Amino acid sequence: MKKNSGFTNNEEAITRCRDSFEHQQVLYKRTLMIIMIAQIFGGAGLAAGITVGALLAQDMLGTDSFSGMPVALFTLGSAGAALFVGRLSQRYGRRIGLSAGFLIGGIGAMGTVAAAVSNSIILLFFSLLIYGAGTATNLQTRYAGTDLAKPSQRATAVSFAMVSTTFGAVAGPNLVDVMGIFAESIGIPPLGGPFILAFAAYTLAGIVIFIFMRPDPYMVARALSTPLKTKDGGFATEVITSSERNKRGIFLGATVMILTQIVMVAVMTMTPVHMGHHGHGLSAIGLIIGIHIGAMYLPSLVTGVLVDKVGRMPMVLASALTLLASGILAAMAPTDSILILAIALALLGLGWNFGLISGTAILVDSTDPATRAKTQGTVDVFVALSGAAGGVLSGVIVAFSSYPTLSIGGGIISLVLIPAMIWFLVVSKQTGKNKGVS
């Protein structure tokens, strides 16, 4: 029998995967390939907007106090989109949920271009909310890779989805000048150029998911999780672990992702503004943000292996310490030193990477396949809201204090991960229900 991936529909895939674990692995690998292609485009769409969003608001509003608003708005928009994509995926599968999210994000990107042309603040804010759907979808795509993965493959599956984002995410900021020149040549303000790229990138990501993600990995995984009686009267699937332990795991996974998101978004948002105040041009800003986003995604393959092999908890600790080091270095960096700031932003991205992958793995470990997509969407709502809060507060903190204060504060906040991790381990040990989470 050929070991091909020619599944024609969900029903056939479910039947074949029940009959042979080998077929499940074939579909798992095929799903990862589709995700990786889509994430290349998704990463470009995400990074282009992040690079110039604060600068566009600063230019249109004429003040720094609200320069954190763009990241806050599209992060806030991503909160609603995370819930929408999660619920849509729960009901109709990853294919429908993810493709819809990317396409909506593309519409928001084009609305932002229109706002730049018309100099409309209202349209800018509304479009950035919609643009946030792309951000939410870009993150939720990582879950699709875990649907058919074995427990020992889950973090590695997340890492494959994330590392492919690197190609687009690094290219996006470094195309700022090129897209600015292109935009200006067709009568659009230069800062609107990167959002033209975001529109094309998100739209292509949505098309790839919609056309090629068949059969749907979540629908197949959910069906496979339904217990089937074996010949001896037992059940073929593993028993779901304690609901109390699951709740603690969901809480810890969410806490790790939320805190790392707050710190990362806050410092990242104000870095372009901080650099602009000290005479650095768009190309230098694009380089720094490109390095930062590369560090967010490029180490993922190594991180995924470490989370699966070394354990979830050691990598949570590594996340906290790396973010602390980033905050200290960013605060101490001389204003004319691109090198030191680049290292600080690289550490910021790396700490976020450690936190997101370990937190995602803890969350997947602690959820029932029957309700997993909905739970993941709900958790990502809080992750997005935390990013929105970080974006808003970052501008206010820098306006009334300084960028070094913001950086140091972020490093201190990251240390909250340590007592959260200790609490989980102690309570799990006391109840004797900490099996399967290391």
Helix axes 372-400, 338-365, angle to 10 degrees: 150
Q: So what's the pLDDT on residue 230?
A: 45
Per DSSP, the three-state class of 235 is: strand
- Topology adopted by domain 10-226+242-431: Growth Hormone; Chain: A; (1.20.1250)
CA atoms within 13 A of residue 57's CA, in its CB half-sphere: 29
**Per-residue CA distances from 422 to 6, 260, 309, 317, 428 (Å):** 46, 17, 20, 10, 10
Closest Cα to residue 266, out of 353, 387, 136?
387
Q: What angle do CA 352, 242, 161 make, to 5 degrees?
A: 30
Token representation of residue 14: 């479910």
**Per-residue CA distances from 34 to 40, 108, 223, 371 (Å):** 10, 24, 21, 23
d(CA 131, CA 58): 18
**Which residue in the block uniquely carries the two structure tokens 């602390």?**
324
H/E stretch holding 239: none
Query: Where does residue 301 rank: exposed (0-12), middle (13-18), buried (19+ CB within 10 A)?
Result: middle
Per DSSP, the three-state class of 372 is: helix
Q: Residues 336, 278: contact at Cβ < 8 Å?
A: yes
Q: Residues 137, 20: contact at Cβ < 8 Å?
A: no
Q: Residues 203, 106: contact at Cβ < 8 Å?
A: yes
Q: So what's the pLDDT on residue 44?
A: 82
Q: So what's the pLDDT on residue 4?
A: 45
Task: Give the tens place of pLDDT for each residue, 342-396.
Answer: 999 999 999 999 999 999 999 999 988 888 899 999 999 998 888 878 888 888 8
Q: Residues 140, 82: contact at Cβ < 8 Å?
A: yes
Which stretches of the chain score pLDDT less than 50?
1-4, 228-241, 433-436
d(CA 255, CA 82): 17
**Per-residue CA distances from 16 to 1, 146, 162, 327, 429 (Å):** 12, 19, 28, 50, 39
Per DSSP, the three-state class of 438 is: coil
Give the helix ranges, DSSP H, for 310-416.
312-332, 338-365, 372-400, 403-414
Q: Which string of b and e fits 189-205 if b means at least 16 CB within 10 Å?
A: bbbbbbbbbbbbbbbbb
Domain parsing of the chain, residue ranges: 10-226+242-431
Closest Cα to residue 308, out of 113, 158, 84?
158
Q: What does the DSSP 8-state code read for residue 229?
A: B
Q: Residues 304, 358: contact at Cβ < 8 Å?
A: no
**Per-residue CA distances from 137 to 75, 102, 108, 142, 355 (Å):** 12, 6, 13, 9, 18
